[in-house]
Structure 1
Amino acid sequence: MLFNAVTSLTGGLALFLFGMHMISGGLQKAASRQVQYILGRVTKNRVYGMLAGLLVTIFLQTSAVTTVLLVSFVNAGLMSLGQALGVILGAAIGSTLTAQLIAFRLSDYALWAVVVGLIPYLFSQRFRWRHLGEALIGFGLIFYGAAVMGEAAIPLRSMPGFIHLLDHLASHPWLMTIVATLFTAFVQVSAATVVVAMTLAAQGVLPLYGALAVVLGANLGTTATALISSLALSREAKRVAVAHFLFKLGGVIIFLTFLRLYTWLAQATSPDIARQVANGHTLFNVINMLIFLPFTTWVGQLTIKLLPDAPEEEKVAKYLDPSVVEVPEIALANVSRELLRMANIIKQEMFPRVMRPLAEREVDLLLKLKRLDNILDYLYQAIARYLVRIPEENLGEDQLISKIKLLYIANDLEHIGDVLVEMAHQWQKIEASGVEFSPEGQAELQEMFKKVQENFVGAMEAFAANDEVAAAQIIRRRPEILRLEKDLRCSHFQRLQQENRFSLETTSVHMELINQFLRLNMHSVSIAEAVMGII
């Protein structure tokens, strides 16, 4: 009996989580532009920001996704910390809709939602309808998963050991909250934890105050998603995730302190205990919003104190001192140092990552390279603005040429970052196909990439030393790279003639990577030409 109950509970939970994933993914893909437009346009006022967060999260069905979007917007400079905080509070309210829908017990229509969603998902010729069909399938799966969990919980009422465990946890609400927090951080969907609490309460194995302690833990645990996603991002993005955590933590402490009053309020909303749990989830987030919305500015200041600007923050122009723009020698030297810093990011953090075999590749490589490319884009813009500020009347002829050289090199470095991100896109296609390059093809690509990488390092060393002889050597190597490119294409086509399965399935990516290698080398040659004054 216990095995069957556990199997049904975990299976129902798995269906629920997969359904939430399909809803969020489908709706994001169907209306990503509209979501970004709403978040970007109505967040200057904290109340409008809260309403925007509420609307977007009702649509996406998960506050974690909305918060992660906010983290990425702040990281990219599209939104300030202050604008994001109000949206977070609204997003928390929007996330309660899932539990409210489950409380309506729509499980009788769950499989019909799957059937109706499957039609556009399989047969529509428009991507938007396919994505909406995917979301509808997701809705069906969450209702069906909730129903499976409800059926599985019935035998638990006759298991004294399980009842005793829940009674013990419920008698220690702080412990119950911690357990629910850890569970939610693991599954990364707070609605799943709330639905489990609703199911157990509906079957009489968990009292209302214990279920509400689970709800509080679910709300706190959902902050883990944004905290994790912000680890590799800017200090400002980390502050958004920390503010999200502080809002939830403050609310959980307040509600646990007044748990009896909270239980009474939830109980007064409905005679049905499952509905009471769902309403308790909504009450927590609405009251929490009312408490903290007036203090978003203060919370923002607190996060700045907790995470002050780091002197080594990458997305900062470290050497572009505006106080010396009137002194061309120092200003141009500052730009050179910033360019070498850009090159170092490419050399140490991007090049070594992008051509690793699949087995050695990092998780979320594309996301990490995009973050680094955003830093390069930012530094390029900062350098361009800085160079423009250097008065031309203060520049001699040689300095004027140096200014143009530096702008050319900055542009090439920024483009190299773009190419490496595009290469990661190509690798993502290989990952999705589940087929690796042929061993011969992999070795040939690595050989060409190594030579291209060496040329980049050589070009930047020539720039650092202002060595025209070394720069000329990079330029003279260009025909060698062109010959190697022809040889690699020929070898790949020969493998295709032999109907090599790996070569057949990876041919488009193989050819595209060779093209990207040529682009990388072209920019290295361009840098060498700039060193020699060929501009």
Structure 2
Amino acid sequence: MLFISVTALMGGLALFLLGMHLITDGLHKAAARQVQYILGHVTRNRFYGMLAGLLVTIILQTSAVTTVLLVGFVSAGLMNLSQALGVILGAAIGSTLTPQLIAFNLGDYALWAVVAGLIPYLFSKRLRWRHLGEAVIGFGLIFYGAGVMGQAAAPLKSLPEFIALLDRLASFPWLMAGVATLFTALVQASTPTVVLAMTLASQGSLSLPSALAMVLGANLGTTATAFISSLAHSREAKRVALVHFLFKLGGVFIFLPLLNLYTWLAETTSPDIARQVANGHTLFNVINMLIFIWFTPWMGRLATRILPDAPEEEKVAKYLDSTVVEVPEVALTNVVRELLRMANVINREMFPRVMQPLAAREVDLLEKLKGLDNLLDYLYHAIARYLIRIPETNLSEEQSILKIKLLYIASDLEHIGDVLVEMAHQWQKIETTGVEFSPQGQTELHEMFEKVRENFNAAVEAFATNDEGAAVQIIRRHPEILRLEKDLRCSHFQRLQQENRLSLETTSVHMELINQFLRLNLHSVSIAQAVMGII
């Protein structure tokens, strides 16, 4: 009997988890652009952010995914930490909708929802309708899974071993909350744990205080998803996950010592114990929001103190959100943002350093440039892997061409980093000997370098704005760079004939730097050609 009941209970839970996955996956794909718009534009203050989090989580049916999206947004610089904190509190309230729906006992209609969702999922030719059909199937499965769990839990109350185990846990609410926290962290969602608590309570296997202790543990355990997601993101994104955990932990520390009062509040909301558990879940998140929304600025500062800014650019892909790879318009936009970040590293961090005169050069300059080049290498490979993961079946012809363009541009940016490191190696030769270029030679090198840098910035701007006209101008300026290169070589040879000592001692480095300038400009031309579709 115990084996059959536990098997049915686990099977029902598995169906419930599958349904949750289908709902989240389907709605995320169907409404990805709308969700990103809401999160990106309706977060002007903490209260708007709270409402945005509530709405988005109702759409996605899980606060864990909303928080993961926030981690990506903050990492990408599209939202700051203080804006994200209000969204987190609203998302927690939105996550209570599913248990409220489960409490209506709609299991008799669950399979009809599966049938209704299967029709567009199998037969629709439009991706959005297929994704919506997938979500409807998911709704059917969570109600059906909840029904299976309810039927499986009924015989358990007559098993003395099972009741004794629950009684031992019920005697220690902190332990019950801890077990629920671990279980929720394992299944990556709070809703299954809350629904399991509702099921056991409705069958008489669990008292209301014990069920509410499970609810508190479920709310704390759901923070694990954002923590895991933030590991691959920036320091700012890790702060979002940390504050999410602190909000929930603070709520648990407030509610568990007041468990009797919390139980009384839940009991006053409904005569049905399953509804009381669902309402207790909602009460916790609403009260927690009302308490902590006033402290979001201080929580943000606390997170910054615990996780201070990294001294250097972090080796993470800030924009490549793996949850939207099957939504091409969003995924390709993310790649564009990451490429512009690469260009920004080159223009702001590498270009100003590489041509510094000896007197002004930083200590360990070559090592710093190598570190930045390693970041560019990492981002190039991350972008390549991300682009490969975007399914070809979801791409229009135009998007397929754009995908190839982006890969070409990523390669050019990565190679520009290599060129700049090679230039630094040449400068190190000058630094070792202590002999500088002749004044005229140094002026000429800086003149050509600035023209090459202008072309690079123009190519990046043409890419960012998709301006084919600007790209044409960059290509047309390449012969001017070639003429300048010939002029600089001729001028240098004239100084050699005049037996200029500085020119003689620096000639190999001088010639090699001119070659590297040409390579830099060729990569800018290649970026411009990609903008024009010449690939």
State if a TM-score over 0.5 links the two structures: yes
Residue aligned with 1:270, SS: coil
Deviations along 1:185-233, one digit per CA (max 9) or x if unpaired, are 0000100000000000011010000000000000000000000100111
Q: Tell me if 1:402 matches 2:449.
A: yes
Task: Report the Cα distance in structure 1 between the residues aligned to 2:244 and 2:461, rounded to whole angstroms.
Answer: 33
Task: Report the Cα distance in structure 1 between the residues aligned to 2:155 and 2:264, rounded to whole angstroms.
Answer: 28
Within the candidate set 345, 349, 355, 2:375 is matched to 345
1:310-349 mapped onto 2 (5 Å cutoff): 310-314=310-314, 329=357, 340-347=370-377
Task: Report the Cα distance in structure 2 between the residues aligned to 1:466 and 1:134, rounded to whole angstroms.
Answer: 63
What displacement does 1:405 show?
3.5
Task: Report the Cα distance in structure 1 between the residues aligned to 2:357 and 2:457, rounded to whole angstroms.
Answer: 18
Deviates more, 1:308-317 or 1:276-285: 308-317
Q: Tell me if 1:249 matches 2:275.
A: no
Task: Report the Cα distance in structure 1 between the residues aligned to 2:265 and 2:14, rounded to whole angstroms.
Answer: 32
What displacement does 1:40 show?
1.0
Residue aligned with 1:257, SS: coil
Residue aligned with 2:256, SS: helix
Q: Tell me if 1:280 matches 2:280.
A: yes
Partner of 2:307: 307
What displacement does 1:329 show?
3.8
Task: Report the Cα distance in structure 2 between the residues aligned to 1:151 and 1:102, rounded to whole angstroms.
Answer: 14
What displacement does 1:63 show?
0.2
Indicate how the Cα distance of structure 1 residues 526 and 109 shifts in structure 2: closer, same or farther if over 3 A, else same.
closer
Q: Tell me if 1:89 matches 2:89.
A: yes
Task: Report the Cα distance in structure 2 between the residues aligned to 1:77 and 1:285, rounded to whole angstroms.
Answer: 28
> TM-score, length-normalised on structure 2?
0.68
* Letter paired with 1:345: L
Indicate how the Cα distance of structure 1 residues 159 and 471 shifts in structure 2: closer, same or farther if over 3 A, else same.
farther
Partner of 2:177: 177
Indicate how the Cα distance of structure 1 residues 231 and 331 shifts in structure 2: closer, same or farther if over 3 A, else same.
farther
Task: Report the Cα distance in structure 2 between the residues aligned to 1:222 and 1:265, rounded to whole angstroms.
Answer: 23
Q: Tell me if 1:263 matches 2:263.
A: yes
Percent of residue pairs identical = 66
* Letter paired with 1:405: V
What displacement does 1:266 show?
0.4
Task: Report the Cα distance in structure 2 between the residues aligned to 1:173 and 1:289, rounded to whole angstroms.
Answer: 23
Task: Report the Cα distance in structure 1 between the residues aligned to 2:157 and 2:345, rounded to whole angstroms.
Answer: 63
Task: Report the Cα distance in structure 1 between the residues aligned to 2:512 and 2:83, rounded to whole angstroms.
Answer: 52
* Letter paired with 1:71: V
Question: Is the CA contact 1:209–1:260 (under 8 Å) kept in the aligned structure 2?
Answer: yes
1:457-476 mapped onto 2 (5 Å cutoff): none
Indicate how the Cα distance of structure 1 residues 12 and 289 shifts in structure 2: closer, same or farther if over 3 A, else same.
same
> TM-score, length-normalised on structure 1?
0.68
Partner of 1:209: 209
Question: Is the CA contact 1:343–1:413 (under 8 Å) kept in the aligned structure 2?
Answer: no
What displacement does 1:312 show?
3.5
Task: Report the Cα distance in structure 1 between the residues aligned to 2:54 and 2:156, rounded to whole angstroms.
Answer: 36
1:44-443 mapped onto 2 (5 Å cutoff): 44-314=44-314, 329=357, 340-347=370-377, 396-406=443-453
* Letter paired with 1:196: L
What displacement does 1:42 show?
1.1
Indicate how the Cα distance of structure 1 residues 342 and 62 shifts in structure 2: closer, same or farther if over 3 A, else same.
same
* Letter paired with 2:236: E
Residue aligned with 1:289, SS: helix
Deviations along 1:284-314, one digit per CA (max 9) or x if unpaired, are 0000000000110010011001101121442
Indicate how the Cα distance of structure 1 residues 274 and 41 shifts in structure 2: closer, same or farther if over 3 A, else same.
same
Deviations along 1:211-270, one digit per CA (max 9) or x if unpaired, are 000000000000000001001111100000100000000001100011000000001111
Task: Report the Cα distance in structure 1 between the residues aligned to 2:174 and 2:47, rounded to whole angstroms.
Answer: 32
Question: Is the CA contact 2:456–2:524 (under 8 Å) kept in the aligned structure 1?
Answer: no
What displacement does 1:403 show?
2.7
Task: Report the Cα distance in structure 2 between the residues aligned to 1:329 and 1:526, rounded to whole angstroms.
Answer: 29
* Letter paired with 2:196: V
Deviations along 1:28-67, one digit per CA (max 9) or x if unpaired, are 1111111111111111111111011001101110000000
What displacement does 1:466 show?
5.8
Task: Report the Cα distance in structure 2 between the residues aligned to 1:165 and 1:134, rounded to whole angstroms.
Answer: 38
Task: Report the Cα distance in structure 2 between the residues aligned to 1:344 and 1:11, rounded to whole angstroms.
Answer: 47
What displacement does 1:171 show?
1.0
Indicate how the Cα distance of structure 1 residues 267 and 317 shifts in structure 2: closer, same or farther if over 3 A, else same.
same
Indicate how the Cα distance of structure 1 residues 238 and 97 shifts in structure 2: closer, same or farther if over 3 A, else same.
same
Task: Report the Cα distance in structure 2 between the residues aligned to 1:523 and 1:7, rounded to whole angstroms.
Answer: 61
Residue aligned with 2:43, SS: coil
Question: Is the CA contact 2:345–2:372 (under 8 Å) kept in the aligned structure 1?
Answer: no
* Letter paired with 1:400: E
What displacement does 1:319 show?
11
Indicate how the Cα distance of structure 1 residues 158 and 338 shifts in structure 2: closer, same or farther if over 3 A, else same.
same
Task: Report the Cα distance in structure 1 between the residues aligned to 2:313 and 2:58, rounded to whole angstroms.
Answer: 35
Task: Report the Cα distance in structure 1 between the residues aligned to 2:459 and 2:361, rounded to whole angstroms.
Answer: 18
What displacement does 1:404 show?
3.6
RMSD: 4.0
Deviations along 1:97-119, one digit per CA (max 9) or x if unpaired, are 00000000000100000000111
Q: Which structure has the bigger radius of gyration? A: 2
Indicate how the Cα distance of structure 1 residues 350 and 42 shifts in structure 2: closer, same or farther if over 3 A, else same.
closer
Partner of 1:490: none
* Letter paired with 1:154: A
Task: Report the Cα distance in structure 1 between the residues aligned to 2:356 and 2:216, rounded to whole angstroms.
Answer: 59
Deviates more, 1:400-409 or 1:303-312: 400-409
Task: Report the Cα distance in structure 1 between the residues aligned to 2:23 and 2:92, rounded to whole angstroms.
Answer: 17
What displacement does 1:158 show?
1.1
Can you give the 5+ residue segments of structure 2 that lack an aligned partner in the other structure? 316-343, 389-405, 421-441, 463-507, 528-535
Task: Report the Cα distance in structure 2 between the residues aligned to 1:256 and 1:69, rounded to whole angstroms.
Answer: 30
Q: Give the count of matched residue pairs.
A: 404
Question: Is the CA contact 2:459–2:525 (under 8 Å) kept in the aligned structure 1?
Answer: no
Indicate how the Cα distance of structure 1 residues 124 and 353 shifts in structure 2: closer, same or farther if over 3 A, else same.
closer
What displacement does 1:331 show?
12
* Letter paired with 2:445: D
Task: Report the Cα distance in structure 2 between the residues aligned to 1:113 and 1:277, rounded to whole angstroms.
Answer: 25
Indicate how the Cα distance of structure 1 residues 318 and 123 shifts in structure 2: closer, same or farther if over 3 A, else same.
closer
What displacement does 1:94 show?
0.2
Question: Is the CA contact 2:208–2:263 (under 8 Å) kept in the aligned structure 1?
Answer: yes
Deviations along 1:497-520, one digit per CA (max 9) or x if unpaired, are xxxxxxxxxxxxxxxxxxxxxxxx
What displacement does 1:338 show?
6.6
